[in-house]
Structure 1
Amino acid sequence: MIRLPIGLAALCLTMSAIAAEPFDDKFRQLDELLPTPTTIRTASGAPGHAYWQQRADYQIRASLDEANRAITGAETITYHNNSPDTLSYLWVQLDQNIYKPNSDARTTATVPSRDGWAKARGPEDGVKFDAVRTLLEARTFPGGFNIKSVKDANGRPLNFVINRTMMRIDLPQPLKAGARVAFSIEWNYNITESKVLGGRSGYEKFDDKNDLFEIAQWFPRMAAYYDVYGWQHKQFLGAGEFTLEFGDYDIQLTVPADHVVASTGELQNPDAVLSAAQRERLRQARSATKPVVIVTQAEAEAKEKTRAAGTRTWHFKAKNVRDFAFASSRKFIWDAQGYKKGNTDVLAMSYYPKEGNPLWEKYSTQSIIHTIDQYNKYSFDYPYPVAISVNGPVGGMEYPMISFNGPRPTKDKKTGELTYSKRTKYGLISVIIHEVGHNYFPMVVNSDERQWTWMDEGLNSFVQYLAEQAWEEHYPQSRGEPRVIAEYMKSRNQVPIMTNSESVLQFGNNAYAKPTAALIVLRETVLGRELFDFAFKEYAQRWKFKRPTPADFFRTMEDASGTDLDWFWRGWFYTTDAVDVSVDGISEYSIGTKDPEVEKAWKRAQRDAEPVSITDQRNKGTLPRRIDAHPELKDFYNEHDDFTVTNKDRNTYNTAVEDLEDWQKALLKEGKHLYLVDFSNLGGLVSPLVLEIQLASGKKYIERVPAEVWRYSPKKITKLIITDEPMVGLTQDPYWETADTDTSNNSWPRKATPSRLELYKAQQPQNDLMKDFNEKLKTKEDKAAATDAQKAE
């Protein structure tokens, strides 16, 4: 411990080390990265008075051919040019073209690395080809849209050009600002088997010879045109999702007569497609306190066994949505429950085959209602009349008012009963929260998914995390927790969050988990819940039914919270820096009183606390001393040591006390303990300090220091800590709330890292000198057996 002269007690709370290399200002503004504000998108992050966006209304008539697993349709699109620009052509998305054998997605796809193949070796010691099955099947599957015609409102053909997953329609007359144009398209395509070709829609075939269809990206859709990018016609490669315009939909779907259809929008003709009993159950569900079964399992099982002849047409309408999807099957059990609160009046509904029970009937609709209840708190009231969860082959995918979710029970090998694990249960709840939550981001807050995946997946995963915490205490830990993302942030395979969807290396970590962790850190550690929740809700309110960009989010969060967060966005979103704060050392100080009685006693105690040298230990009692044999040699200095207080010392002290100012006298009386703590920023990402200080009495308390502590020296700082009693321990980030990637250097004194020493390791394989010979012999035996089998055939 070092004694500080009283004059040094006026030290600043932070002492910054002088960097030997060029200064890296982590707190500089994002001016060089963010676009210049305009009257369309303001500096505050809000839509400006000149904000505009396009609109597209759809009328669609389509038929589901179950036998051939195909869709045939005709649509009329009314496109509203609300931009200030004159458009001579329009771009339309043809997402099904990703399934053409020569699509970019197929021709640029790669197989797993050789290392990955080696890891895939199973008990048969062969390479498993599941990972490449999609590539093999895609070579022969006749996928993609067949565009039969494109015509204007008068039925005259329009010139069009198909560029892979995009189609340009040339207009006979330029479409002026404020004008609208109507045109029609006829098409058909073959539906993919989801478990074979993957993707975000498709069909599933069951052992009972029935199919379940989840249909999306099923009609030519208008590409987005907006102020930042113009036409968003980046090719669809599979990862980057969809950028769409809002509009009204009028949809008629013709399906097998015994099918039940779940769909975006409200059913317009229940009398034509539902029985009287089903309509009555649906009426009761609106005011029920628990889910009401509309189509029972017994009714669904009866239809599975005897197929009805003919078809039925289901008519739906949806207002102000950016997309439309549906599901259809005779296997569907259907339950529903109403939820009404504030401006939300919604019918939550679940559709699932019997293979989904007993899990789905217990948790699906309840999860929908919970999602809406929680998301409303943090954004806005759910604006649509229905919210649907469908169990089918698609593991998790979202569309307006409807989502496709995968988890199911598995059959017990002994009893044959369907049962589910803890992981499956919470997997279902979480995926429903996530996919229904997408109604808010991006189905209403309509970000450009083709460009920035994190703007919908990251923001939605963050609110999903909040909703999960409100489901039950100790909800199984989900990705996004700061402590969970720390391992990824150490990885060399990172790219910045602000990377286009198609260039992201680890999609789950980069687009889902890391943005979630960043927002949790921002909410819990940087801003606090009150400021964060107000700002986040302001963003959702400002941009509902509009198209925000990353800059709009960043600026709104700063504007509404009243906090400069450029350092946070730069570190978390634009770099691959990590949080790694090291506690390098601590020097203990106390304030020098100048009082010789106190100071010399303090020095004596310091001397007495020093270790006795090994020489003195061994000499004591064994080495004869001359002064002991001749006491006449002793004088004044033998009777008094260096710690004896003299009159001169007292006179000097009295003079010094007279010169002290009042604040210095007060500080002397308080008897504070001072510590200079050295910190290093090893990860590069500046972070607040969260310091747990432990005192000699056992008391612990938290001292929070804003990230701006690093503003003058982003790599090394020295912080002055003042305590009322001696400090015996200090831990940086004690709750693992900052995503610190190395907690082993966070404490003083250093803490041992706990682990387990496994004594019971699997037996190591013996050195088999005959291994190669035996393998060759086995190969010969296998070939011989195969030859004999062929001869037998």
Structure 2
Amino acid sequence: MKLYNLTLCILLCAITFKGYAQNTDQPGVKYDQHKVFNPNFYPEKGNAFRNAGGAPGSKYWQNRADYKLNVTLDTLKHRIDGTALITYTNNSPDALGFLWLQVEQNIYREDSRAEATSPITGGRFNNRTYTKGDEIKAIFVTKNGKTEKADYIVTDTRLQIKLKDSLRADGNKLQIRIEYGFDIPQYGTDRMGRLLTKNGWIYELAQWYPRMEVYDDVSGWNTLPYLGAGEFYLEYGNFDYSVTAPASLLLVGSGELLNPTEVYSPTILKRLAEARKSDKTVMIKDSADILRKDDYPKKPNITWHFLCKNARDVAWAASKAFIWDAARINLPGGKKALAQSVYPVESKGKQSWSRSTEYVKGAIELYSNQWFEYTYPVATNVAGTVGGMEYPGIVFCGSENKAGELWEVTNHEFGHNWFPMIVGSNERKYAWMDEGFNTFLNNVDTKVFNNGEFYVKPDQQKAALQLFSPEAEPIMTIPDVIQADYLGAAAYEKPALGLAILREQVLGEQRFDYAFKTYIKRWAFKHPTPWDFFHTMDNAAGEDLSWFWNEWFFTTWKLDQGIKDITYPDGDASKGALITLENLEEMALPVTILIKEENGKTATVKLPVEIWQRGGVWTFHYKSTSKIVSAVLDPDHLLPDINPENNSFSGLPVPAGATAASVLKTYIDAIGGAEKLKNIKDLQISSTGTVQGSEVQMVSRYRSPDMFFQQITVPSYNNLVVAHVLVNGERISVQQLSREIPLDDGGKKIIKAKSRPFPELDYEKGGYAMELDSTLKIVNGDLAYEVDINLAEGTQIRNFYSQKTGLKIKQVVEGSINSVTEFADYEGINGGIRIPFLIKTTLLGQAAEFKVKETAVNSGMTAGVFQ
């Protein structure tokens, strides 16, 4: 599932409301090595079902559900009716007196538990219209050759069948026949539904049949209700399913189509055969073919018959509006599969869905070669109303996705064919075991796809503000319990970053990849728990990682490593240096430090996490031969340090005579001079950036003396307005997604100060207290002056100006509003002034770069645009 978490406040380049401020209420040092390196992390020993090494035990078992489904799609009523025949095998050692099934169309009922627990402000999983849910007409149970009507009860999205005689253990079977139907909701909580295009409806069908709940050795029956955020936990089996629909529709689904000659014309069959041999995308059905009636049988309805083996679910889509293209997938074992995409004419284009099959093929080949071979004969990408949702061998992605955002969502949804389709974890409880693992795969994959076409180097120091915000919740939290604004961090970004840190900083790629592949191989088509994952990684990598699992997955501890001091034995730099590090927060991670000496020598020192076993301060000897001019922790910004300002140490005092006023004057002169800046009566700047593959546009307007407007939109979401800021004299308004954000006095002062294009002109006359830090700072390897502007108690802006150029290169805002912004690529615009054309910040917990596209100076902007 793709999480569209665009509710993060984006204000004046990623201001974060109620952002992190270090807790000073706790006396003493926060770090305690006894809590981090706790020898009692693992709660229990292995057993015959799951051994202590993280593998399935000698007596591991899981039950099985095989399905034969036969339904009819009524396009006039937008309805499904049919039967489900389930053969259920009890491989457990327990006799089962009752069975539980999922009837998840009931989430769309007005009286559903999900509806009762949905926020009135709306959200992705809120119902927009209601249906009657799964309409159960009859249920029969066949056991030992005898068929009887079932005794059953429906409780919201769960259905219990009470057996007259228990289903015995150790491989005994029974059959359940269910006659049912349901109306297809237009918006199915972004997991299914239907979309009207100019050439007809697109139907995306999922959760479309009653499904067996999992009975396992951990919890017995897993019966958490379906509320929206928590996804699925399902048994494996074979799916033989048939869909009868109007003959004009093209239908695609999980698994292999068994009757292609009955549903395709000779022309389609010929093109399809060509695609199966081609590494380039082949058009099977183009826009000109949609209205041709000789491409399908000349009868009212036809039946499509599919078989999907060893899967946990199936889904399908149907429309007469589909364009269809395909290409061959080359798998490492020598097998071939088919990548295909179906989408409406509106989505056609090389910057849009015409590249979808290329993305499908590329993602699956990369994942197969890196981790585990793809297991389905076909991989289908469907453009429709669903923003992003995964099913075995088929995914649903938004029809309006383009370019990088289409790659991102396609890559993400197909990554789910490894987690949880191959490795069948419990998504209803542990979203991170599929979303987080998959996001990690996506990041590895994107770095190499098409030579990194869509790769953006992460900056985890900037991401820390989102991942470790005051609203942070432990990763090990049921997804329906995680607050909506933090679900993206807890389920996706933070677990993915954790795996990246293990791979890059703790274990190294070779050891990590072997252990991770061992986990996939061990638990392919089985049901692992978090402990099985932890134990497997420990054992296969040969490292006790219990300290990491505890701090990263079970707590909201933060990371703050810093350089405390650098001294020299006997004051002689030629004898080496004593570098003292400190760990100021509760989390411990390895250390990387880049050191530069006065004689030009540079070196990178890596220290293991075990240095923190002795406490929160560590001193090591560095064999320098001259004075150290700079030392920087985590120079590549790979760790989510919440306070990177103490990560660097220059040891150089500011030059004699330098003052805050002189630094500001140098900056003002560097961008054009005070007189030219004062002549700017109005200014408009239009910029674009990319977040999670989606283009984001920012427009900022200023009109002298005290009017400011900024709006950030996402064009692919129907120009969704994410953030809106307005300053008009004393009136200050900030909105997120049309919701007004309350501001305290400190927040208002920050916005007022930042709403001016050249606030340095006003710092002295505005009565702000300014202070020049006594030492030079290091910003991205450059020496810089730090000027602190205190707006009010607890509210501060820290600006960093390059010692070499005088230009402002970074700004840190601290108070009730927090932000970190970097500036680069200063260019001249009309009026003879220079502004930064590149602004680096963090959006949605990810590094984002806004590039200026257009500017307008003194264009006669009226006050009317600031209402």
Q: TM-score, normalised by structure 2?
A: 0.70
CA 1:308–1:65 in structure 2 vs 1: closer, same or farther (change >3 Å)? farther
Taking the aligned partners of 2:279 and 2:507, their CA distance within structure 1 comes to: 38
Taking the aligned partners of 1:170 and 1:234, their CA distance within structure 2 comes to: 19
Query: What displacement does 1:307 show?
Result: 12
Query: What displacement does 1:22 show?
Result: 10
Counterpart of 1:176 (choices 168, 193, 200) is 168
Query: What displacement does 1:111 show?
Result: 2.4
CA 1:673–1:22 in structure 2 vs 1: closer, same or farther (change >3 Å)? closer
Letter in structure 2 aligned against 1:380: F
The answer to whether residue 334 in structure 2 is matched with residue 394 in structure 1 is: no
Question: In the TM superposition, what whole-angstrom CA distance separates every residue of 1:506-547 from its partner, at most 9, and x where no partner exists?
Answer: 111111111111111111111111111111111111111111
- Where do 1:164-563 residues align within 5 Å? 164-178=156-170, 179-194=172-187, 198-208=189-199, 210-302=200-292, 310-343=300-333, 344-359=335-350, 360=352, 362-408=354-400, 424-473=402-451, 475-476=453-454, 482-483=460-461, 485-505=463-483, 506-563=486-543
Q: Which runs of 5+ in 1 are unaligned?
A: 1-18, 113-130, 410-423, 592-601, 603-670, 770-793
2:55 paired residue number: 46
CA 1:476–1:317 in structure 2 vs 1: closer, same or farther (change >3 Å)? closer
Taking the aligned partners of 1:96 and 1:696, their CA distance within structure 2 comes to: 69
The CA RMSD over aligned residues, in Å, is 2.8
Taking the aligned partners of 1:288 and 1:133, their CA distance within structure 2 comes to: 39
Letter in structure 1 aligned against 2:211: R
Query: What displacement does 1:562 show?
Result: 0.8
Taking the aligned partners of 1:539 and 1:157, their CA distance within structure 2 comes to: 43
The answer to whether residue 19 in structure 2 is matched with residue 79 in structure 1 is: no
Q: TM-score, normalised by structure 1?
A: 0.76
Query: What displacement does 1:345 show?
Result: 2.2
Question: In the TM superposition, what whole-angstrom CA distance separates every residue of 1:427-481 from its partner, at most 9, and x where no partner exists?
Answer: 1011111111111110010000001000000001101111111114454456976
Taking the aligned partners of 1:768 and 1:719, their CA distance within structure 2 comes to: 54
CA 1:268–1:22 in structure 2 vs 1: closer, same or farther (change >3 Å)? closer
| SS of residue paired to 2:148 | coil
Q: How many residues align?
A: 635
Query: What displacement does 1:303 show?
Result: 6.2
Taking the aligned partners of 2:367 and 2:127, their CA distance within structure 1 comes to: 42
Taking the aligned partners of 2:471 and 2:42, their CA distance within structure 1 comes to: 23
| SS of residue paired to 2:101 | strand
CA 1:768–1:499 in structure 2 vs 1: closer, same or farther (change >3 Å)? closer
Query: What displacement does 1:557 show?
Result: 1.0
- Where do 1:566-645 residues align within 5 Å? 566-590=546-570
Aligned 8 A contact 1:367 1:429 in 2:
yes
Aligned 8 A contact 2:596 2:629 in 1:
yes
Query: What displacement does 1:493 show?
Result: 0.7
Letter in structure 2 aligned against 1:234: L
Counterpart of 2:627 (choices 726, 750, 765) is 726
Letter in structure 1 aligned against 2:150: L
- Structure with higher Rg: it is 1
The structure in which a higher percent of residues are helix is 1
Aligned 8 A contact 1:480 1:514 in 2:
no
2:13 paired residue number: none
CA 1:532–1:484 in structure 2 vs 1: closer, same or farther (change >3 Å)? farther
Letter in structure 2 aligned against 1:543: W
Query: What displacement does 1:673 show?
Result: 2.5
Taking the aligned partners of 2:577 and 2:127, their CA distance within structure 1 comes to: 67
CA 1:434–1:21 in structure 2 vs 1: closer, same or farther (change >3 Å)? closer
Letter in structure 2 aligned against 1:351: V
| SS of residue paired to 1:25 | helix
Aligned 8 A contact 1:40 1:51 in 2:
yes
Taking the aligned partners of 1:481 and 1:227, their CA distance within structure 2 comes to: 41
Query: What displacement does 1:365 show?
Result: 1.0
The answer to whether residue 748 in structure 2 is matched with residue 748 in structure 1 is: no
Taking the aligned partners of 2:416 and 2:340, their CA distance within structure 1 comes to: 16
- Where do 1:101-180 residues align within 5 Å? 101-112=110-121, 131=122, 137-138=128-129, 141-153=130-142, 154-178=146-170, 179-180=172-173
2:581 paired residue number: 679
The answer to whether residue 19 in structure 2 is matched with residue 28 in structure 1 is: no
1:662 paired residue number: none
Q: Which runs of 5+ in 2 are unaligned?
A: 1-27, 655-659, 672-676, 678-682, 684-700, 708-727, 732-867
CA 1:88–1:314 in structure 2 vs 1: closer, same or farther (change >3 Å)? same
2:792 paired residue number: none
The answer to whether residue 595 in structure 2 is matched with residue 693 in structure 1 is: yes
CA 1:135–1:740 in structure 2 vs 1: closer, same or farther (change >3 Å)? closer
| SS of residue paired to 1:471 | helix
Counterpart of 1:762 (choices 685, 688, 702) is 702
Query: What displacement does 1:371 show?
Result: 1.1
Query: What displacement does 1:348 show?
Result: 1.0
Query: What displacement does 1:133 show?
Result: 11
Taking the aligned partners of 1:373 and 1:767, their CA distance within structure 2 comes to: 57
Question: In the TM superposition, what whole-angstrom CA distance separates every residue of 1:725-775 from its partner, at most 9, and x where no partner exists?
Answer: 432221111111122122111011279999999966723356699xxxxxx
Aligned 8 A contact 1:489 1:577 in 2:
no
Aligned 8 A contact 1:304 1:330 in 2:
no
Query: What displacement does 1:724 show?
Result: 3.6
Letter in structure 2 aligned against 1:44: G
Query: What displacement does 1:680 show?
Result: 2.1
CA 1:230–1:590 in structure 2 vs 1: closer, same or farther (change >3 Å)? same
Aligned 8 A contact 2:284 2:326 in 1:
yes
Aligned 8 A contact 2:359 2:411 in 1:
yes
| SS of residue paired to 2:568 | strand
| SS of residue paired to 1:502 | coil
CA 1:482–1:557 in structure 2 vs 1: closer, same or farther (change >3 Å)? farther
Query: What displacement does 1:52 show?
Result: 0.7
| SS of residue paired to 2:610 | helix
Question: In the TM superposition, what whole-angstrom CA distance separates every residue of 1:57-88 from its partner, at most 9, and x where no partner exists?
Answer: 00011011111111111011000001111100
CA 1:578–1:307 in structure 2 vs 1: closer, same or farther (change >3 Å)? farther
Aligned 8 A contact 1:84 1:177 in 2:
yes
Taking the aligned partners of 1:133 and 1:232, their CA distance within structure 2 comes to: 24
| SS of residue paired to 1:521 | helix
Query: What displacement does 1:309 show?
Result: 6.1
| SS of residue paired to 1:317 | strand
Taking the aligned partners of 2:108 and 2:257, their CA distance within structure 1 comes to: 31
Query: What displacement does 1:159 show?
Result: 0.2
CA 1:540–1:132 in structure 2 vs 1: closer, same or farther (change >3 Å)? closer
CA 1:312–1:305 in structure 2 vs 1: closer, same or farther (change >3 Å)? closer
CA 1:304–1:586 in structure 2 vs 1: closer, same or farther (change >3 Å)? farther
Query: What displacement does 1:288 show?
Result: 1.1
- Where do 1:93-104 residues align within 5 Å? 93-104=102-113
Query: What displacement does 1:373 show?
Result: 1.5
Letter in structure 2 aligned against 1:673: K
The structure in which a higher percent of residues are strand is 2
CA 1:376–1:728 in structure 2 vs 1: closer, same or farther (change >3 Å)? same
| SS of residue paired to 2:702 | coil
